[in-house]
Amino acid sequence: MGERCAWAGSDPLYQAYHDEEWGVPEYDARPLWEKLVLDGFQAGLAWITILRKREAFRLAFDGFDPAVVARYGEADVARLMGDAGIVRSRAKIAAAIAGARVFEDMRERGEDFSAFLWDIAGGKPKVNRWRSMADVPAQTEVSVAMSKALRARGFNFVGPVIVYAFMQATGMVNDHLVSCPQHRALK
């Protein structure tokens, strides 16, 4: 049957994330925005750090409801900066709030965040056939294009490497190794 991708390691939380979430196509706009925000918070840190804090992030950011987060002001920034359960980076918190405002602006103009992203990604998951982790790129032409499009809208912490990790996590690309049972399951 094969072995799961080596990056999942032996941590049960990481293994569950690998087996149940990573690479599963996500089409709902709100969870896509949440994952983009969390990938931005991950910049410079290990993903497991964010994964372990994810529930605290969800509580701190009102369930990642963009309509609520878009209305955050300085008192909310201060509250978040004081929350030891999350990554306390003023720049990343400001980016999350700004991103919520962009998300809401797009929605108010009748533009769907999910359709915007999936159109750039090609409309359906790209199934790669990597044999080793060394084969998996850190970024692609598509992640560069998506990064530019997101930045043009006003999003931050959306560089091409962060965006490629986001694309992997949300199933826009299937980067499970061919030896991994999830590669076949998601194909």
- Distance in angstroms (rounded) separating the CA atoms of residues 4 and 59: 31
Residue 137 has pLDDT above 60, yes or no: yes
For residue 187, what pLDDT is reported? 78
Name the pLDDT band for 2 (thresholds 50, 70, 90).
Answer: confident
User: Residue type for 99, please?
Assistant: G
- Distance in angstroms (rounded) separating the CA atoms of residues 89 and 64: 17
Dump pLDDT digits (tens) for 61-106: 999 999 999 999 999 999 999 999 999 999 999 999 999 999 999 9
Dump pLDDT digits (tens) for 101-120: 999 999 999 999 999 999 99
Give just the sign of the alpha carbon dihedral 4, 31, 42, 169: positive
Judge whether 158 and 36 are in contact, CB under 8 Å: yes
Which segments within the chain are labelled E, that is strand? 126-127, 173-174
Residue 57 has pLDDT above 80, yes or no: yes
User: Which residues, including other chains, have CB under 8 Å from residue 171's CB and lie 6 or more apart?
Assistant: 23, 24, 25, 26, 125, 186
Dump pLDDT digits (tens) for 141-173: 999 999 999 999 999 999 999 999 999 999 999
For residue 1, what pLDDT is reported? 56
Judge whether 67 and 103 are in contact, CB under 8 Å: no
* pTM, two decimal places: 0.96
Dump pLDDT digits (tens) for 22-48: 999 999 999 999 999 999 999 999 999
